[in-house]
Amino acid sequence: MEFINRPYAPLDGFRAANLINVDDFPEAETNYVLDLAEYYARFLNAGQRPPARLAGKTQINLFFEDSTRTNLSFELAGRRLGADVLNVPVAASSVNKGETLVDTAQTLAAMGAHALIVRHKEPRVHDEIARRISCPVINAGDGVREHPTQALLDAATIRSVYGSVKGLVIAICGDIKHSRVAASNAALLTRLGAEVRFVGPSHLMPTPHLFTKARRFDSLAAGISGADIVMALRMQFERMEEGGKDAAKGYFETFGLTHETIKAAKPTAKVMHPGPMNRGVEIDGALADDPDRSLILKQVFYGVATRMAVLDALITKGSAF
Ligand code: CP
């Protein structure tokens, strides 16, 4: 496995201090992290241990919202690189005694954290934490605003299949209005040269002044016509106003992704979903499970490799192996 042992080229001066928004990583930093994710993916694919780049470092995960993929893949990513990884048991922590989130974050930093991974529904709380502590802050999802590591892992997944994001047509379908995944992906995939489209009913679209580069479609067939990738999103009921459950009524019949409906996309089109998915609501189970069409489990795989790359880059500042 000679290629795995080859040291990865360092980036001279990785400039980003935190990852709160996808745009915190400019072009060179984004490309460095995507290349590094591919490098780590080779180790994971081969079942080999990567170099313990983060031995002696401490990563602390602080999740105030439910998570399976993001929390566990950050934990695995840190462990794969040799870091000590702690998960704050939020339900049993001093947050419940009135401590502010910033005080909690400062306490964790004073314990010696080298990176703090935070999921919290309040937008901008990550910025406040980053101003008050000196170690990198990584946004693991903040309400409807951003989920930058999801966008990076989606880009890494797409690159692993197509070689590049540039020139692809990517249709994001469903509850875009409440989706931080759509927000981060629209910004990143457009910057990487894709044509990003939003597809869904008008009540699930963001306000018109947001994401002006993404063309909007209220017809599934028109929106995915010629698409290389069709990305489904779940209904984010937890972020909807009272009565939001009605948003799903008749949705599958009009916008649900099935083997039949994706015939409007390119014959080679792949389906993606950030998870968690609701089978029979936004996507048919048979399509989600079809290994020839679905990249959903590949996204999960690249979640670990990409988060390894993000942790490595922010903690070591792109230093040589
Ligand atoms: N995609 C995603 O953020 O999944 P989790 O909510 O399970 O972390």
DSSP state string for 178-214: T-HHHHHHHHHHHHTT-EEEEES-GGGSPPTTSSTTS
63's enclosing H/E stretch is strand 58-63
Q: How confident is the model at residue 116 (pLDDT cuts 50, 70, 90)?
A: very high
What average pLDDT score do residues 127-147 get? 97
CA–centroid distance, 275 to ligand 1, in Å, is 6
**153-195 pLDDT per residue, tens:** 999 999 999 999 999 999 999 999 999 999 999 999 999 999 9
Correct CATH for 2-146+302-316 of 3.30.499.10, 3.40.190.10, 3.40.1080.10, 3.40.50.1370: 3.40.50.1370
Q: How confident is the model at residue 1 (pLDDT cuts 50, 70, 90)?
A: very low
Q: How confident is the model at residue 8 (pLDDT cuts 50, 70, 90)?
A: low
Ligand 1 near 73 CB (within 6 A): no
Instruction: Decide if 2-146+302-316 and 148-300 have a common fold.
Output: yes
Model pLDDT, residue 5: 57
Ligand 1 near 65 CB (within 6 A): no
* Longest CA span, the chain: 57
Cβ proximity of 116 and 88 under 8 Å:
no
Count the helices and strands in the chain (H runs, E runs): 11, 9
Model pLDDT, residue 10: 67
Length of the chain: 321
Residue 130 has pLDDT above 50, yes or no: yes
Model pLDDT, residue 63: 96
**187-215 pLDDT per residue, tens:** 999 999 999 999 999 999 999 899 999 99
Q: How confident is the model at residue 92 (pLDDT cuts 50, 70, 90)?
A: confident
Percent of the chain with pLDDT over 90: 85
Cβ proximity of 33 and 151 under 8 Å:
no
**23-57 pLDDT per residue, tens:** 999 999 999 999 999 999 999 999 999 999 999 99
Model pLDDT, residue 9: 64
This prediction has a pTM of: 0.96
Model pLDDT, residue 62: 97
CATH code for the part of the protein at 148-300: 3.40.50.1370
Percent of the chain with pLDDT over 70: 97
Domain regions of the chain by residue span: 2-146+302-316, 148-300
From the CA of 274, give the closest atom in ligand 1.
Answer: 1
Residue 255 has pLDDT above 90, yes or no: yes
Mean pLDDT of the chain: 94
Nearest residue CA, atom 3 of ligand 1?
70
CA–centroid distance, 276 to ligand 1, in Å, is 6
Residue 2: CB atoms within 10 A of its CB come to 5
CA distance 144 to 146: 6
Task: Determine the residue of 68, 147, 295 to mutate for testing ligand 1's pocket, defined as the one with the most ligand atoms within 8 A of the Cβ atom.
Answer: 68
Model pLDDT, residue 2: 42
Locus of tokens 């993404």: 214
Q: 3-state secondary structure string, 255-309? A: HCECCCHHHHCCCCCEEECCCCCCECCCECHHHHCCCCCECHHHHHHHHHHHHHH
CA–centroid distance, 277 to ligand 1, in Å, is 10
Nearest residue CA, atom 6 of ligand 1?
67
Residue 150 has pLDDT above 90, yes or no: yes
Model pLDDT, residue 171: 98
Model pLDDT, residue 211: 92
Burial class (CB in 10 A: 0-12, 13-18, 19+), 292: exposed
Model pLDDT, residue 180: 97
Q: How confident is the model at residue 241 (pLDDT cuts 50, 70, 90)?
A: confident
Minimum mean pLDDT range among 106-110, 111-115, 119-123, 152-156:
119-123
What average pLDDT score do residues 77-103 get? 92
**257-268 pLDDT per residue, tens:** 999 999 999 999
Model pLDDT, residue 6: 55
Ligand 1 near 82 CB (within 6 A): no
